[in-house]
Amino acid sequence: MSMESTSTCAHWKVDFDEHNIAWLHLDMADSKVNLLASTVLEELRGILDELAKDLPQAAIIYSGKKGSFIFGADINEFLEFDDISKSLPFISRGHEIMDKLESLACPTVSMINGMCLGGGMELSLACDYIVAADNSSTRLGLPEIKLGIHPGYGGTARSIQRCGPLPAMDIMLTGRALPARSAKKIGLIDECVPDRQLKQAAISFALQAPKRKSPPFVQRLLNNRILRPFIAQQMRKQVSRKARQAHYPAPYSLINLWQRHADNPKRMLREEAIAVANLATTDTARNLLRVFLLQDKLKNLGKQVAFKPSHVHVIGGGIMGGDIASWCAIQGYTVTVQDQDPSRLAQTFKRAQSSFKKKYKRDRRAITAAGDRLMPDHKGYGVSHADIIIEAIFEDADVKRTLYQDIEPRMKPDAILATNTSSIKLEDLSSSLNKPGRLVGLHFFNPVAMMPLVEIIRGNETDEDVVQKALAFGRSISKLPLPVKSSPGFLVNRILMPYLLEAVTMVGEGVPPEVIDKAATDFGMPMGPIELADTVGLDICKSVAEILSAALDMPLPENLNAMAAANKLGKKSGEGFYKYTKGKAQKNKAARFADVQKVQDRLVMRLLNEATACLREEIVESDELIDAGVIFGTGFAPFRGGPIHYIREAGKQELAERMNELRQEYGDRFESDTAWAGL
Amino acid sequence: MNNRKDVYIVDGSRTPQLKARGKPGPFSASDLAVTAGRALLMRHNFDLGELDEVIMGCVMPSEDEANIGRVIALRLGVPQTVPAWTVQRNCASGMQSIDSAFHNIANGQADLILAGGVEAMSRAPLLYNKTMVNWLSDLMMAKSPGQKLKTFAKFRPGHLKPVIAILRGLTDPVVGLNMGQTAENIAAKFGITREQMDSFAVDSHHRLAAAQDAGHLDEIETLYDSKGKYYDHDDGVRPDSSIEKLAKLRPVFDRKYGNVTAGNSAQITDGATLVLLASEEAVKKHNLPVLAKIVDSQWAGLDPAVMGMGPVHAMSPIMDRHQLAISDIDYWEINEAFATQVLGCVEAWKDDDYCKTHLGHERALGEIPHDRLNVDGGGVSIGHPVGASGARIVLHLAKILHRNNAKRGMASLCIGGGQGGAMLIENVSNESLQNEAA
């Protein structure tokens, strides 16, 4: 038996079973995943109205998509929110429907198998019961904070009601998604069962409608009006370590919402809608949304061809090669990592083991399985098995060429050869190959496990098919692949270097490193340039800078040479621009400088100018890809939406004038690029 | 033997054999086998689903490794549809696995089998003794606090005395002798002196050291642990071993008047050897190289109290069936469980009386030349991970034949409990079956 009105539904289907339970089946039309798009919500409204008229025994909501429940709202719809007059009605409509679901006078159950995020979680929270499958593809969370907003379909009030303020605020402030088991532990969901019992568990809740557990006493106590201001203050303090209010208002707004209205859930829901509608129109939210869409764009670049290698071979067991290998093993690939020196492979394997432990915690079987997939291979057996070989040996063109000649005869006919070089032109390397078209650049960033971007370098001779496969491979290892023209420094290092060198120059002029770094983090960079240089290693900075300075007419600051010569190499040698104790930079908190704004301008302008030059030289295909590359490759303040976007938003004219002032003071390196005017 | 198919040893790998140093070693048995197996399979290009089965020998897998053959197969990425099993014939488990593979291929039931043996002796468990187990179960049964208290009060420190599984494993449960004592029996029977044993042991170490220097152990694959250390050679070797040094050691089994010492016995060791076996069809189909052909095998039983004589009882029927004289065999690998037991085997074949009484021969077979026996060392120097040794000696014998361009080789082991196992192989590494087919 099925419901008549759903015959007009594109996304939903409702069936009734022998217990008169209504099974609400969501399978969003023309989409790989379920989203709470407007049309989906409107159809749900109709279904709920109908159910309310002729009440079933219970209602169970579930997904028809494999491996996912509901991924959240359709954020493309957020793009319209340039004003609260657009965002508030949108949010309020969602609230209305969630309220309808919550007030349906029969037991309601959300039955989750797979990803359940954002709006999907909020929809579930509006149900009486939530049951989820205990498997690796099921994750539950409220990640709105990452888009510069917070839950807006009642998720704030309802999650706090369910599990108490601390766990609920924690998942909303961090935006992290929990496995079903952890979600059960904090009380976000009612039951977590193996796949085979999911349906049975949902039916059991639907028919028996047990009394729902309230949060533990301590959690209820913490929600008390008198205690809340203190706890809220504590939360603000914690948040401020990661995000400033000026840059990221959403977490502060969420904390305020809770502090003020937690006594009255109804009012909290109302205030939530208003707060989110306001947040959604901020520059931060709109830029973060842009970044999110850019991320999708990069992901899509890796979906153009199907390429799923059965075996990955990495040559070079240094930190970079080893980390690439262990990352690929974590991603499920069978990996061999080759190095002539077994002691280096031993270190590689040790590092890999600690990444596996970090990743899989105490799951001993998963750690063993990852270790079994990663084979230290000092005899190079993997060469003839691999569909993709990643070369990550030291930067010496001759040695690389010799290596390529040695391995090419043993490679599979269609295997791709990828080099992780950051400084040698692909064309200088491919000449040694019989099939030069198989060589592509695959430029990872350090540390591999943390950095989301991989530059895919297209040499003059690289086959298009090979570029596409490399992009697909980048995506298949959960990285964001960015196609880049073969040119010195590629995109990320090239844009980063003038900014780093300007910072080093300022140190030479006597500006305290602490002031420089703070100017950068004030702008929104994740780490200051001086500390970054120390972390990367001043020797490495110097060698990359040398290559770029030759190509881009960028003189090396004297003090960088001096530091390298004195073997002050940064964090790894214990001293660079900062001194390090236990791996932490010792900063002088009292350091001051007169014109901090100028320090920031000098840093930022050089970065923006180089980004503009890259756009003109078509290092990547579009201005959007420049923004994406710089954000995901350098951590460039995401809430500013990327360098090119920032120039446009801040006003290219004003920035150009500022450049001109700096040029008069510091010389031609502040000459604005010819493409600046055309932005 | 009609209609039986030829069976080839395609290739093999092993781990270095790591001497047990008083506490659990860095690798579990399946860890060891995975390292050897991954490299072996990586050298060839067939799809792992082409394997018909995986057979592993192991005497004492850990509690997490029930049917360790299957554990190893799955960890190696062999598809779930390929069956795997484990064989146990004590010290010859590794040879039993090759022999089982040999028969299954020869009978036409299989074409491609991954076989081998493994043992992590350093990880042999300590067990609770019986009184402790009874006490624990009483405690579990106790319901009321009073009962619990009562049971607690019955605890005695003696309950904690562990059962050392490896010592029990190396003691014959029927005749009650430990393996070293069975070796003392042989020494007594043939009048083998302490000097002879020690001299044999010194040779074993020197031969292994020479083989290591010459790079003759290329079947070894480096092991990497999670702490940044690697292991690339058999670490029980003592290149500076000498009769004088060995003479200082005290007998360990018959403590007062015995001759068998730790220095002239096999070392307690961890290791794995994996071997790929194939029919001619499989060799051609997957374009595989061949190393050796398995010609024949034999198992024999004898008095457990002289189990070390097992090899002569197993080798003799093979020699008879193929009408071979000692000189027809180019190289011998007789596993060195104890120096004296290998020497005893050599003596037995020289002895008219032994050959007549036990082997049904008119007279003595003759003397196995010392320079053709265990030429790259044996259990005394390389160690004897019980489940693995049988596979190790067959593989290494094939390598020796190939290296010396020799024809026939015999591998044999004595087996705790009173058995012997032997396998005759022929070098075919210079033949290409691919060309023959053409």
Q: Count up the domains in chain A and report the number.
A: 3
Is residue A463 included in any domain, yes or no? yes
Which chain B residues have a beta carbon less than 8 Å from that of A376?
A: 222, 224, 230
Same domain, residue pair A497 and A482 = no
Query: CA B437 → CA B280, B285, B293, B323, B433, distances in Å?
Result: 10, 11, 17, 30, 6
Rounded to a whole number of angstroms, the distance from the CA of A476 to the nearest CA of chain B is: 20
Q: Which of B58, B345, B355, B414 is catalytic?
A: B414
Q: Are A2 and A15 spatial neighbours (Cβ–Cβ below 8 Å)?
A: yes
Instruction: Collect contacts of A9-12 with beta carbons under 8 A, ≥24 apart.
Output: A9/A43, A9/A46, A9/A47, A10/A39, A10/A43, A11/A39, A11/A40, A11/A43, A12/A40, A12/A43, A12/A44, A12/A47
A68 token code pair: 């996912």
More reliable by pLDDT, A362 or B277: B277
Selecting from A346, A368, A381 the residue whose C-beta is nearest the C-beta of B229 gives: A346
Tell which phi-psi region holds residue A577, choosing left (phi > 0), alpha (psi between -120 and 50) or beta.
Answer: alpha
Look at A334 and B77 and tell me if their CB atoms are within 8 Å: yes
Question: What pLDDT is attached to residue B2?
Answer: 60
Asked about B414 being catalytic, the answer comes back as yes
Which CATH number is A306's domain given?
3.40.50.720
Using CB atoms, which residue from A353, A372, A379 is nearest to B226? A353
Average pLDDT over residues B414-426: 97
Q: Is residue A286 part of a domain?
A: no
**Is residue A151 predicted with pLDDT exceeding 50?**
yes
Looking at residue A4, its pLDDT comes to 58
Q: Do A350 and B226 touch (CB under 8 A)?
A: yes
Average pLDDT over every residue of A480-505: 94
Top-confidence residue, A2 or A266: A266
Residue of B nearest to A310 (CA): B47
Q: Which residue carries 């208002």 as its tokens?
A: A249
Does one domain contain both A433 and A535? no
CA distance linking residue B330 with residue B378, whole number of Å: 17
Flag whether B118 is in a domain: yes
Residue A186 vs residues A150, A153, A346, A471: alpha-carbon distances, Å: 20, 21, 40, 39
CATH number at residue A565: 1.10.1040.50
Within-domain flag for A94: yes
Q: Are A341 and B221 in contact (CB under 8 A)?
A: no
Structure tokens at B78: 């062999």
Q: Please answer yes or no on whether B226 and A377 come within 8 Å at the CB atom.
A: no
Same domain for A205 and A340, yes or no, is no
pLDDT score at B182: 96
Question: A312: domain range?
Answer: 301-486
Q: Is residue A649 part of a domain?
A: yes
pLDDT at position A593: 85
Contact B229 A334 (CB under 8 A): no
**pLDDT for the residue numbered A6:** 65
- Does the pLDDT of residue A2 top 70, yes or no? no
Nearest CB to A350: which of B39, B75, B227?
B227
**Average pLDDT of A28-39?**
95
Yes or no: say if B85 and B78 are a contact pair by the CB < 8 Å rule. Answer: no
Residue B166: predicted pLDDT: 83
**What integer pLDDT is reported at residue A631 of this predicted model?**
96
Question: Could you give the percent of chain A with pLDDT greater than 70?
Answer: 99
**CB interface of A with B, residues 333-352, below 8 Å:** 334, 336, 342-343, 345-347, 349-350
Q: Is the pLDDT of residue B438 over 50?
A: no
Q: How far apart are CA B119 and CA B270, in angstroms?
A: 6
CA distance B7 to B295: 8
- Where a domain ends, among A220, A253, A281? A281
Stretch B324-329: mean pLDDT:
98
- Mean pLDDT in residue range B240-256: 94
Q: Are residues A374 and A412 in the same domain?
A: yes
Summarize pLDDT for A194-219 with one digit per residue, the tens: 999 999 999 999 999 999 888 999 99
Residue A214 shares a structural domain with residue A156: yes
pLDDT at A546 (0 to 100): 86
In a domain, B12, yes or no: yes
Residue A12 sits in the same domain as residue A155: yes
Considering only CB atoms, which chain A residues are within 8 Å of B226?
349-350, 353, 371
Burial of A608 (0-12, 13-18, 19+ CB in 10 A): buried
Task: Pull the structure tokens for residue B127.
Answer: 């067990």
Q: Which of A343, A372, A385 has the CB atom closest to B75's CB atom?
A: A372
Q: What are the backbone angles phi and psi of residue A336, rounded to the nearest 5°?
A: -115, 140
Q: Provide the number of CB pairs (under 8 Å) joining chain A to chain B.
A: 51
Q: Are residues A560 and A595 in the same domain?
A: yes
Residue B435 has pLDDT above 60, yes or no: no
The DSSP code for A570 is B
Q: Could you read off the pLDDT of B66-115 as tens digits, one per residue?
A: 999 999 999 999 999 999 999 999 999 999 999 999 999 999 999 999 99
pLDDT of B126 reads 86
Based on the fold, state whether residues A309 and A399 are members of the same structural domain: yes
Q: Which residue in A341, A347, A381 has the most chain B C-beta atoms within 10 A of its own C-beta, making it the best mutation to test that interface?
A: A381
- Mean pLDDT, all residues of chain A: 94
**Residue A432 structure tokens:** 């040694």
Return the active site residues of A.
422, 443, 455, 493
Domain residues for the domain of B406 are: 7-124+266-437
CATH number at residue A212: 3.90.226.10
Partners of residue A333 in chain B, C-beta under 8 Å:
none
Instruction: Let me know: does A35 contact A21? Beta carbons within 8 Å.
Output: no
Which among B391, B434, B421, B420 has a CA at the least distance from the CA of B15?
A: B391
A44 shares its domain with A121? yes
Are A110 and A130 in contact, with CB atoms under 8 Å apart?
yes
CA distance A350 to chain B (A): 5
Closest CA to B202 of B251, B264, B268, B249: B264
Instruction: Give CA separation, A450 vs A445, A481, A582, in Å.
Output: 9, 15, 21
Tell whether A291 is covered by a domain.
no
Q: Is there a domain that residue B143 lies in?
A: no
Last residue in a domain, options A486, A518, A538: A486
Regarding whether A246 and A305 lie in a shared domain, the answer is no
Q: What is the mean pLDDT of residues B223-243?
A: 96
Q: Which residues of B touch A (CB under 8 A)?
A: 34, 38-39, 42-43, 45, 75-77, 222, 224-230, 232
Instruction: Compute CA A84 distance to the chain's CA centroid, rounded to the nearest angstrom.
Output: 28
Distance CA A6, CA A19 (A): 20
Across A164-182, average pLDDT: 96
Residue A664 lies in a domain: yes
What is the model's pTM?
0.92
Residue A341 dihedral angles phi and psi, to the nearest 5°: -105, 110
Whether residues A247 and A332 fall in one domain: no
Assigned domain for A40 exists: yes
**Region B321-337 average pLDDT:** 98
Alpha helical stretches, state H, B191-279: 194-214, 243-247
Mean pLDDT is lowest, of A126-130, A523-527, A545-549, B250-254, for A545-549
Query: How far does the CA of residue A332 sit from the closest CA of chain B (Å)?
Result: 12
pLDDT band at A3 (very low <50, low <70, confident <90, very high): low
Q: What residue spans of A128-185 are helical by DSSP H? A: 155-163, 165-174, 180-185
The CATH number of the domain holding residue B387 is 3.40.47.10
A350 and A262 in one domain? no
Q: Does some domain include residue B400?
A: yes
| Separation in Å, CA of B352 to nearest CA in chain A | 51
Q: What integer best gives the mean pLDDT of chain B?
A: 95
The residue of B30, B31, B35, B38 whose CB has the most chain A CBs within 10 angstroms, and thus the best one to mutate to test that interface, is B38
Token pair for A184: 């059960």
pLDDT of residue B437: 42
Burial (Cβ within 10 Å: 0-12, 13-18, ≥19) of residue B326: middle
- Among candidates A35, A54, A156, which has minimal Cα distance to A105? A54
- C-alpha B95/C-alpha B9 separation (Å) is 13
When divided into structural domains, chain B yields a total of 1
- Direct distance between the N- and C-terminal alpha carbons of chain B, in angstroms, rounded to an integer: 27
**B405 within domain boundaries:** yes
Quick check: B43 and A381 CB within 8 A? yes
Q: Could you say which of B45, B222, B228 has the minimum Cβ distance to residue A350?
A: B228
Question: Would B369 be classed as within a structural domain?
Answer: yes
- Whether the CB-CB separation of B196 and B338 falls below 8 Å is answered with no
CA dihedral A466, A470, A472, A473 (to 10 degrees): 130
**A455 belongs to a structural domain:** yes
| Residue B141 included in any domain | no
Residues of chain A with C-beta less than 8 angstroms from the C-beta of B42? 336, 375, 377, 381-382, 385
